[in-house]
Amino acid sequence: MAGGDSESPLTSPSLEQQFEKFRVQLEDSGSLLERIRAVVMEIESATRLMQASLLLVHQSKPIPQVLEKANAQINVLKDLYSKLAEVVRECPGQYYRYHGDWRSETQMVVSLLAFMHWLETGNLLLHTEAEETLGLNDSDFALDLEDYLVGICFMSNELPRYVVNQVTAGDYDCPRKVLRFLTDLHAAFRMLNLRNDFLRKKFDSMKYDLKRVEEVYYDVKIRGLATTGDSVGD
């Protein structure tokens, strides 16, 4: 009877060996994933603190004061990215295997750093500068180009709100400055042939940011509130 079969060792040794090896491999990659996720959760948490500080800029808190608090998180993030790079380095050539696990958090980090940089200097945080800020410049753990670009788009999404609040607080020169920055940024993006659907969609949203800032600038100009700023030249 077939029942007799069930008492004999069913599995062939090579099959057993292979799946035992797989079991170990899957445990290993599973625990690696858990360690990655633990660091990413810390990154997310530090980013939240940074963002909370940075949002005060919409209430017209003095920029140096706002930046000081936000900057305090940069070293925390640097340490966390160094920790993340160390974990990922354990499995060489698999950066992109786990990339999805820190992708959106890193886009947010880039977005905040770029906003801070713009508040401080009026310029775009470059890709190399973002890597340097996060301590990734000498690392094999690089900042993915598309993550950087998405982060910049996220920063752009923040600018219309900033302009509105600045004008409310009486800074009538802000729309002109933001408009100039955003126009340049939009033109630069237009040079790129974006095949990544998510990135292309985010870039499309930049056009609405631009339009909104143009509208605010228009409001300020038509009321004659922006005249002095223009005569200065810059």
Min CB(96)–a copy of itself separation in Å: 4
Give the three-class secondary structure for 57.
Answer: helix
Min CB(46)–a copy of itself separation in Å: 12
Per-residue x/- marks for a copy of itself, 185-224, CB under 8 A?
A: xxxxxxxxxxx---------------x--xxxxxxxxxx-
The Cβ of residue 168 has, within 10 Å, a number of other Cβ atoms equal to: 10
The Cβ of residue 170 has, within 10 Å, a number of other Cβ atoms equal to: 9
Min CB(115)–a copy of itself separation in Å: 15
C-beta closer to a copy of itself: residue 11 or 138: 11
Residue from the set 35, 78, 103, 161 that interacts with a copy of itself by CB under 8 A: 161
Site residues (CB under 8 A) for a copy of itself, limited to 72-131 = 92-97, 99, 123-124, 126-128
Residue from the set 22, 68, 75, 86 that interacts with a copy of itself by CB under 8 A: 22
The Cα–Cα gap between 189 and 209 comes to 14
Min CB(76)–a copy of itself separation in Å: 16
Nearest to 78 by CA among 42, 51, 111: 42
What are the structure tokens assigned to 115, written together? 């906003």
* Count of residues interacting with a copy of itself (CB under 8 A): 83
Torsion (CA) 207, 208, 210, 212 in degrees, nearest 10: 170
Q: Is 12 left (phi over 0), alpha (psi -120 to 50) or beta?
A: beta
What are the structure tokens assigned to 176, written together? 């002109």
DSSP H stretches of helix in the chain: 13-54, 63-89, 95-98, 103-121, 127-133, 145-168, 174-190, 197-222, 227-232
Residue 37 found at the interface with a copy of itself (CB under 8 A): no
Interface stretch with a copy of itself, choices 18-26, 67-75, 77-85, 105-113 (CB under 8 A): 18-26
Residue from the set 150, 153, 167, 174 that interacts with a copy of itself by CB under 8 A: 167
Residue from the set 68, 120, 137, 183 that interacts with a copy of itself by CB under 8 A: 183
Per-residue x/- marks for a copy of itself, 38-67, CB under 8 A?
A: -------x--x--xx--x--xxxx------
Residues 6+ apart with CB under 8 A from 231: none
Min CB(189)–a copy of itself separation in Å: 7
